[in-house]
Amino acid sequence: MEKRRIYPLNAKRFSENKKEETNAILFGIHTIEESIISGKEIEKIYFAKNQANLNELKLKAREQNIPFSIVPIEKIDGFTKKNHQGVVAFVSPIQYAKLDDIIYKCFSDGKNPLILILDRITDVRNLGAIARSAEAAGVDAIVIPSKGAAQITSDAMKTSSGALNFIPVCREENLINSIKHIKDSGLQVVACTEKSDKWMYKVDFTTPTCFIVGSEEDGISADIMKLCDEVVCIPMVGEISSLNVSVASAIVIYEAVRQRGGKK
C-alpha cells in the first residue's frame, strides 16, 4: 500500500508562522502612515466618518491600493479603546505577490502556469479552503480583488491549514485589467460556472490556464465572463444544481492536474 505523503517542512513552516495568523492591529495616524511608508503589508484600514484630519492618510491608502472603509466612530472604538485618532489598520498575515512576477517566473522556469482567480469570494473560510486545495494541487497563484472580497484573516489562515503561507496570493485592484494581462501573457482564461452547458472535460487544460470561480451568491460577474476564452461547468446529475465554491474549485483544479498527468 502506498504511504500517504507527509510534509515536515510545511508543518515546521506553519508552526513558525502561527504568530502571524492573527492580524495585528495598528492605530493612530502617525503609526499607520509610517507603516505604509515602510512597506508593511496592510490588509485593511478603517477610517471614522467626518474627520478631515484623515484625508491625507486616505490618499496614501488609495495610492498604495490598500482597501479601506469609512465607518462610524463606534466601530473604531470597538476595535480598540486606546487613542486611535479615528483610524485603525490591520496588518496582513501574508506578503502579497505581484502577478507579473508570478507569470514571468513560471515561464522562465519552464513551468506550465496554472492560476486561479477568485471573483468576489466573500467567505473567509471558503477562501482558506480554496487555498488549501490549490496549494496541494500545485496552483502557481491565487488572485483576489482588493475590494469587495474576503480578506486574509486568521480564520482564512486556519481554514487553509497553512497553505496561505506557501501559495502566492496576488491582490489586484482591477480584475478586468488583470485578466487582460493574463491573456496577453499566453494563458487561456476559463470560467467555471453552473450556468454553462459545456462540461469541463471538453476543454484542454494542458496549456497555460487561468481558472475563474465566482462569488457564493452571484457567481462570476458579467464583465469578467465576457473576457473568458471558455465557460465550463462541472457535471451535475443529482437534484442539487450547484456546489460550494471551494468544492467546485478543487474539482476543476484537479481536472487540470489529471489532464497534465500530475506534471506542471
**pLDDT (0 to 100) of residue 263:** 64
Q: Which domain covers residue 124, as residue numbers? A: 99-259
- For residue 232, is it within any domain? yes
- For residue 3, is it within any domain? no
Q: At what angle do helices 29-37 and 55-63 cross, to 10 degrees?
A: 20
**pLDDT (0 to 100) of residue 239:** 83
Give the pLDDT mean for 162-189: 96
Q: Total domain count for the chain?
A: 2
- Residue 52's identity, in one-letter code, is A
For the segment 200-228, what is each residue's pLDDT rounded down to a tens digit? Answer: 999 999 999 999 999 988 899 999 999 99
How many helices and strands (H and E) does the chain possess?
10, 10
- For residue 12, is it within any domain? no
Q: For residue 20, is pLDDT > 80?
A: no
CATH code at position 146: 3.40.1280.10
On whether both 232 and 103 belong to a single domain, the answer is yes
CATH code at position 22: 3.30.1330.30
Q: For residue 22, is pLDDT > 80?
A: no
For the segment 53-106, what is each residue's pLDDT rounded down to a tens digit? Answer: 999 999 999 999 899 999 999 999 999 989 999 999 999 999 999 999 999 999
129 close to 155: Cβ distance less than 8 angstroms:
no
On whether both 212 and 254 belong to a single domain, the answer is yes
**pLDDT (0 to 100) of residue 12:** 36
Q: For residue 186, is pLDDT > 90?
A: yes
- pTM to 2 decimal places: 0.85
As to burial, measured by CB atoms within 10 angstroms (0-12 exposed, 13-18 middle, 19+ buried), residue 15 is exposed
- For residue 7, is it within any domain? no
Which residues neighbour 73 within 8 Å (Cβ) at sequence distance 6 or greater?
Answer: 48, 49, 86
